[in-house]
Structure 1
Amino acid sequence: MTTVLRAPAQVVELDLDRPGGPWRPGFTAPVRPQGPVVALVRRAGRPLGLVAVDADRPGPDGSAGPDAGPDAGRLRRRLVEAAERHLDTGPAAPAPPPPGARAPLVSVIVCTRGRPTLLGDSLSALLRTDYPATEFLVVDNAPEDDATERLIRALGPDRLRYLREPVPGLARARNRGLSAARGEYVAFTDDDALADPGWVSALAGAFRADPRVSCVTGLVVPAELDTEAQAVFERYCGFGKGFASRDWSTRTAGRDPLFPFAAGRFGTGANMAFRTTVIRDLGGFDPATGAGTPTRGGEDLLAFLRVLVAGHTLAYRPDAVVWHRHRRTMAELEAQIQGFGTGLGAYLTAAVSQRPGLLAELLRRLPAGTRYALRRAVAPAPAGPGRGGRDGDPGLARLGRLELRGLLRGPFSYLVSRRQDRRFRAEDWS
């Protein structure tokens, strides 16, 4: 089943094997919402899918909504019924063994720029991690004041390391954190994301289960659906990649006509991790890509591609859950989607300029990629969990055209960004 996400709705989560609930994202507190509700349903911690109900409407059996009586468990029962109708709620797969006394150190890096309120919530969520060997690094990118540094001192300077990267650019900020990381694995999330308490454990478990895996991405769920723009983002593209684990490598490419260039299918920079030695050996992130540069993105996609073409395996594990706060206004959303297109065009340009041998392979996939981009610009079709009902939606088609416009601008933006990066490097050397 595809759950069509609408706004406004309160986002909650529910574990079928855990009494009580529903809960706020991250199981931080029980809630009793009114009106539309979207729930991430789990079994023994494992995400199963999203369901939507209206807490104020009668249930299928004619029972009233939660405000009709004192039964606080009525909404839970409604959500459980919806899950049993629409999701596979069978026994959960065995959980991986706990990390034990020798848990490999994981370095978690959060890059931020001028958003201390969002960052405070993100760091508070990270500090609730259940993984025993974690270091947290906060990279302040081109700060205009000391608000982020003061926040770190207030939240816990004994657990949070503050770093400063003076040159704007998300890839540069990620590289600054990567250079200081001490962990065997390095994980990245955003300052507008809320990591699940089990996020780090799930990432580390994926690496430990398979030595061929050098990059892990995870499930990204909306943290809120307060505005129409947030729901439109989920219907248009969203960050979620489904509820089934997947592995990709050049050995198992299958028949995907866009592999390995459609790197957005593998995950997103809001929820990704690498073996530290591997990402360092690959050169880290291209400083000419990423938010804060003319390319506006693409640094994560390029890193995924580098991992794959180097012969490593990239794994998607939905157990590694992050909740993301999407843009709240349509103007912000439209700018973001156009930026996605620019970042995609820049990423493809960077890929072939750095590895010319990829050009012939990219050209072979160009017809399929062109058809895919044009479909999104004319009549977008359903593309995954939470994204039903796209056919014939002129608003979504407009986003597709904005993304296509950005895509065409991407190669030029990358060339401009490369020149800027060379100038920054020259200034550093002088």
Structure 2
Amino acid sequence: MIIPTFNRAEILQECLESLVNQTIDRSLYEVLIINNNSTDNTEYIITQYTSRYANMRGVFEPMPGLSHARNRGYKEAHSAWCFYLDDDAKARPDTIARALEVIEQYPFDCFGGVYYGWWKYGRPRWLPQDFGDKPLELQETGILTRENALCTGYNSGGVFVCRKSVLEKVNGFVADLGMNSGKIGYGEETYLQDILRSNEYVIGFDPLLVVDHLVGKHKLTIWWHLKSIYASQRDAIFLVESTLTLKRCILTIGWEMVIFPFKFIKYLHQLIFHKNYYWQTFILDLFSPLFRKIGLLSGFMR
């Protein structure tokens, strides 16, 4: 188990507690906690657990960025397999046991699973119940491709298992993508899976590999959602072959500005006359397309 962490001491404690209470013996797995230059009391929490449990080990990674922490993790790992879990997620009691079953029974080089939203701070009525969920990629355990997937065709980095030898051969996660000291970033695990596919490694998906992932306080704000839309589109340019040009980017933003007043009237009507249409939804519906286009422009000019 590899847990990269940055300034989430309180939540990290719940994550580590879930890894203590597994259905299999602790001697069958190690837990590496990668402190990615945290400035809170993360190191204290790590020490509390590593001093009590022989299978837990703390590592300090000074280079900021989730990809740097993930790469440090596989380099430090003693196991032949690396199971990446986000520091704001909780493993279920059988999570590690299930991962070992998949490793033994299927010919995967890497695989992922499912996470469900953990509403620790409550759910605002304008956010749907399934907002924090990772949708199923396959109904049954099997090889995952972009063609047979029910959703994106990619495993989430928050519940991601990969052979250490494979990570070594492809040099791990690209450092230019992913979260960095609180800055929103995406795509490092997606890019890695593209690299694995291009090298004919087998990627799998297991719907029975389940964790619970925190819907953080910051995700309960409109501004975070707009920033997330912007960042996902900015980083998407790096991940796909695109025919997008600077001229086309500017034209699409211009078109959004032209139709903005018409959208304003449309969504205002819904806000006034539909009981379950909230003002937060109004803002997101109105501004999300513009943030999406500006994100693409930002990615194109990177």
Do Structure 1 and Structure 2 share a fold, with TM-score over 0.5? yes
Alignment partner of 1:286 is 2:180? no
Cα deviation, residue 341, structure 1: 4.6
Counterpart contact for 1:165–1:176, Cα < 8 Å: yes
Q: How far apart, CA to CA, are the structure 2 residues paired with 1:337 and 1:233? A: 16
**Contact 2:229–2:295 (Cα < 8 Å) also in 1:** no
Indicate conservation of the 8 Å contact 1:113/1:141, yes or no. yes
Name the SS of the counterpart of 2:217 in structure 1.
Answer: coil
Aligned to 2:127: 232
In the alignment, the residues of structure 2 paired with residue 342 and residue 137 of structure 1 have an alpha-carbon distance, to the nearest angstrom, of 29
Instruction: State the partner residue of 2:50.
Output: 156
* Matches of 1:331 and 1:273, distance apart in 2: 29
Number of aligned pairs?
Answer: 268
Q: Judging changes above 3 Å, is the alpha-carbon distance between structure 1 residues 144 and 392 closer, same or farther for their aligned structure 2 residues? A: closer
Any conservation in 2 of the 1:297–1:344 contact (CA below 8 Å)? no
Q: Which residue of 1 aligns with 2:82?
A: 186
Name the aligned partner's letter for residue 279 of structure 1: L
Which among 92, 97, 100 is matched to residue 196 of structure 1? 92
Flag the structure with more relative contact order, 1 or 2, with Cα contacts below 8 A and sequence separation at least 6. Answer: 2
1:272 lines up with 2:160 in the alignment: yes
Matched residue type, 2:3: V
Cα distance in 1, alignment partners of residues 289 and 18 from structure 2: 32
- Partner residue, 1:113: 6
Distance 1:340 1:175, change over 3 A: farther
1:215 and 2:122 aligned:
no
Q: Which amino acid aligns with 1:117?
A: E
Question: What code does the residue aligned with 1:143 have?
Answer: S
Contact map agreement 2:112 2:206 (CA 8 A) in 1? yes
Structure 2 equivalent of residue 402 of structure 1: 288
CA separation of 1:164 and 1:221: change in aligned 2, threshold 3 A: same
Secondary structure of 1:172 counterpart: helix
Alignment of 1:29-428 (within 5 A): 108-132=1-25, 133-145=28-40, 147-157=41-51, 158-211=54-107, 213-224=108-119, 226-229=121-124, 232=127, 234-236=129-131, 238-241=133-136, 244-249=139-144, 253-254=147-148, 264-292=152-180, 296-328=185-217, 332=221, 334-336=223-225, 338-339=227-228, 341-346=230-235, 348-352=236-240, 359=241, 395-396=280-281, 398-399=283-284, 401-402=287-288, 405-406=291-292, 408-409=294-295, 412=298
Letter in 2 for 1:154: Q
State the SS of the aligned residue for 1:186: strand
SS class of match (1:228): coil
Letter in 1 for 2:84: F
Do the aligned residues in 1 keep the contact of 2:66 with 2:179 (CA within 8 Å)? yes
Rate the CA distance shift 1:177–1:231 in 2: closer, same or farther, 3 A. Answer: farther
Could you tell me whether the CA contact under 8 Å between 1:239 and 1:267 is conserved in 2? no
Separation in 2 of the partners of 1:280 and 1:333? 39
Secondary structure of the structure 2 residue equivalent to 1:110: strand
Q: State which drifts further: 221-230 or 287-296.
A: 221-230
Aligned-pair distance for 1:280?
Answer: 2.1
TM-score by length of 2: 0.74
Matches of 1:415 and 1:164, distance apart in 2: 34
| In 1: Cα distance, 2:126 partner to 2:95 partner | 24
Which structure has the bigger radius of gyration? 1
**Structure 1 SS opposite 2:177:** coil
Tell me, which stretches of 5 or more residues in structure 2 are unaligned?
Answer: 245-251, 257-262, 264-275
CA drift of 1:179 comes to 1.1
Shift of 1:136: 0.5
Runs of 5+ unmatched residues, structure 1: 1-107, 353-358, 365-369, 379-390, 417-430
Secondary structure in structure 1 of the residue aligned to 2:22 = coil
Residues 273 and 184 of structure 1: is their aligned pair in 2 closer, same or farther, counting only changes over 3 Å?
A: same
Measure the CA separation in 1 of the matches of 2:70 and 2:162. 12
Contact preservation (8 Å) 1:189, 1:272: yes
Q: Deviations over 1:337-365 (max 9, x none)?
A: 6325513541x33335xxxxxx3xx559x
Q: CA deviation at 1:393?
A: 7.5
Q: 1:225 to 1:128 in 2, by over 3 A?
A: closer
- Report the CA distance between 1:285 and its aligned residue: 0.6
Distance 1:208 1:167, change over 3 A: same
Distance 1:162 1:156, change over 3 A: closer
* TM-score normalised according to structure 1 size: 0.54
Task: Give the direction of change, closer, same or farther, for the CA distance of 1:350–1:314 in structure 2 (3 Å limit).
Answer: same
Q: Which moved more, 1:190-199 or 1:223-232?
A: 223-232
Rounded to whole Å, the distance in 1 between the matches of 2:203 and 2:281 is: 30
